[in-house]
Structure 1
Amino acid sequence: MDPEVWSQFIRENWLVIVIALVLLFAVINLVKTVLKWAIVIVIVAGLFIYSGVTMEQIGDAVNKVTDSTVNTLKSEAQEMMLSEAKEAKYTSAGDGTYTITTPNLEVKGAAGNDKVEVIFRGVSLGQWSVTDTTKAFIDEARKNGAGS
């Protein structure tokens, strides 16, 4: 997915790209059915295949973006744990489970369990192992006053 490769491809195959674009616009303007979108997908896929981009490369790029986004969210959530620990509200259920809420975070866990579920701004970040940061957050929330 190197920009230099794309630039070189466009310089060498500009005529094929222009023809494909003309076909795309013609199909979009003339065909008014679901067939239109099937033809558009075939033309775009043909361009990708012709350019040498494989589905595996596209999948790898999507995975990289996903991993980067999740890692960024996890980092932000950890920073939020540190900054919002003072206002965290600890609520304990009778069965040993607890929920800690702040304006941006919700942490659910069970006493004695080394995993907690973290929800950051309404988006579940999955199960996290209890790290020093997480433990400090839980302890601070307990100090703030336990609910029922």
Structure 2
Amino acid sequence: MNLDLEAWKQFAIDHWVVIAVAIVALVIVVNVVKTLVKWVLVAAIVIGVAVYGGYSVNDLKEVGSKVSSVILDDAISAMAGEAKDAKYTLNEDGTYTVETKNITLSGVANSGEVKVTYRGVTFPAVPLEGAVREFVVQAREASK
């Protein structure tokens, strides 16, 4: 378990009811139970809250990046099927936009990066290589 202070602050904000119930349970156990069982129950409650809130911000970021990667892979796969319907627009400021039903790419000419939006999810800097470059080239050629 990672003892990340930021993760515990976020846990306290998100699950304040669980913490309040645990504190009330601790007070009741300490005041009512008079045997060794009291300390076993106190330890169980404290350990339960610690384990329940043990996910760190880094763990959550890692899960988010994995999900983001999967969605980007889906977007790149969808590009191949939607290339023939893509609309390429060259803007006056040197930027371009490629749009389909599900995907929007925008970037600066010769920058090597594009911003991909796939079904409402935006990826800020995707390298313009491989399938992404091919998609932009096909869209540009189809618009001529």
Same fold (TM > 0.5): yes
What does the per-residue CA deviation read over 1:90-145, in whole Å, with 9 as the maximum and x for residues that have no partner?
01112211000000000001111111111111221221111111110010001111
What does the per-residue CA deviation read over 1:12-50, in whole Å, with 9 as the maximum and x for residues that have no partner?
xxxxxxxxxxxxxxxxxxxxxxxxx85543336987851
Report the TM-score, using the length of structure 2 for normalisation. Answer: 0.65
Instruction: Provide the rounded CA distance (Å) in 2 between the counterparts of 1:59 and 1:44.
Output: 23
Instruction: Provide the rounded CA distance (Å) in 2 between the counterparts of 1:126 and 1:40.
Output: 37
1:84 to 77, 82, 85: 82
Structure 1: gaps spanning 5 or more residues:
2-36
> After the TM superposition, which residues 39-78 of structure 1 pair with which residues of structure 2 at under 5 Å, given as runs?
40-43=18-21, 49-51=46-48, 52-53=50-51, 55=53, 57-78=55-76
Report the TM-score, using the length of structure 1 for normalisation. Answer: 0.63
Q: How many residues align?
A: 111
Structure 2: gaps spanning 5 or more residues:
2-14, 27-43
Instruction: Provide the rounded CA distance (Å) in 1 between the counterparts of 2:64 and 2:113.
Output: 23
Q: Given that residues 90 and 145 in structure 1 are in contact (C-alpha distance below 8 angstroms), is that contact kept between their aligned partners in structure 2?
A: yes
Q: Given that residues 48 and 54 in structure 1 are in contact (C-alpha distance below 8 angstroms), is that contact kept between their aligned partners in structure 2?
A: no
